């Protein structure tokens, strides 16, 4: 890539499968800083790289504030080290939260499974069907 690569809002939004409104939103939040030529936004490779990081951070469940902090750290001298350390710590926290959510979901699934088995057994003891039958429409 060269430093002269430029992208319109449509080109960048198409490439990343986001809406132009999303790009304007990220600009309003200070995450992207395209040049302006009149009313037209012109994005460069820096904006493209930042957008890739923003979208990755969102997919991983990070807030825009966290993502902004990482992007801002990168701009500082030696910010890459601080950025990497901050990202590692935040990723570790996110991983811990996701593991806990998974355990909670698995426990809930087990409880629902037990409840369904109990109800099926209870119905079977009474000779009733296990699945609810739809009510007949009244004429």
Is there a contact between 83 and 73 (Cβ–Cβ < 8 Å)?
Answer: yes
DSSP three-state, residue 52: helix
Residue 78 pLDDT > 70: no
Query: What pLDDT shows up at residue 137?
Result: 47
pLDDT (average), residues 33-54: 94
The H-assigned helical ranges of 6-78 are 9-16, 20-28, 45-59, 64-75
Residues 97, 23: Cα–Cα separation, whole Å: 29
- Tell me the C-alpha distance between 42 and 123, whole Å: 67
Rounded to the nearest angstrom, the gap between the alpha carbon of residue 90 and the centroid of all alpha carbons in its chain is 14
| pLDDT of 98 over the 70 cut | yes
Tokens 């119905």, located at residue? 123
Q: Cβ(55)–Cβ(16) under 8 Å?
A: yes
Statement: the pTM of the whole predicted model exceeds 0.85 = no
Fold of 1-63: Multidrug-efflux Transporter Regulator; Chain: A; Domain 2 (1.10.1660)
């Amino acid at each position: 890539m060269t430093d002269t690569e430029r992208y319109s809002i449509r080109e960048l939004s198409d490439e990343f499968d986001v809406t132009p409104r999303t790009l304007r939103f990220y600009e309003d939040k200070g995450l992207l800083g395209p040049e302006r030529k009149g009313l037209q936004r012109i994005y460069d490779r820096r904006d493209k790289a930042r957008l890739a990081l923003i979208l990755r951070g969102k997919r991983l469940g990070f807030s825009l504030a966290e993502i902004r902090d990482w992007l801002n750290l990168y701009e500082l001298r030696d910010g890459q080290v601080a950025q990497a350390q901050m990202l590692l710590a935040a990723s570790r926290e996110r991983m811990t939260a996701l593991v806990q959510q998974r355990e909670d979901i698995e426990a809930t699934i087990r409880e629902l499974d037990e409840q369904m088995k109990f109800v099926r057994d209870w119905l079977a003891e009474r000779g009733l069907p296990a699945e609810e039958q739809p009510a007949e429409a009244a004429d």
